[in-house]
Amino acid sequence: MHLEALPAPRFPARADTLSRVVAMAFNQRRKMLRASLKRLGPAIEAHLTAAGIAPTERAEQVSLEAFCALARQIDGADPDPMNAT
């Protein structure tokens, strides 16, 4: 088997933010994301909605692409993936 790295991430997001968001989301099983991520701040429901994620979703229902969008939203990054780093 031969693996080749992509020239750019498929779903860009800052690794530290993405890691923190995913860890918090999966830390409390079967909780809705708005409850699991409430420590990220009072605007978490707005961030979830802006990233296209329903606040009532559970972590296991969310795609990698959506988690990356949420991480970018939390970081205040440009939502256009062509401009993200």
CATH code for the domain in which residue 19 is found: 1.10.8.100
- Domain span at residue 61 reads 15-75
Residue 84 lies in a domain: no
Residue 70 lies in a domain: yes
* pLDDT value at residue 29: 79
Residue 57 lies in a domain: yes
* Residue 79 clears pLDDT 80, i.e. is over it: no
Q: pLDDT of 1-53, one tens digit each?
A: 999 999 998 999 999 999 999 999 999 878 999 999 999 999 999 999 999 99
Average pLDDT over residues 70-81: 75
Residue 41 lies in a domain: yes
Ramachandran class of 51: left when φ > 0, alpha when ψ lies in -120 to 50, beta otherwise: alpha
Residue 67 lies in a domain: yes
Is 34 buried (19+), middle (13-18) or exposed (0-12) by CB count in 10 A? Answer: middle
Q: pLDDT of 51-60, one tens digit each?
A: 999 999 999 9
The domain tally of the chain equals 1
Question: Rounded to two decimals, what is the model's pTM?
Answer: 0.82
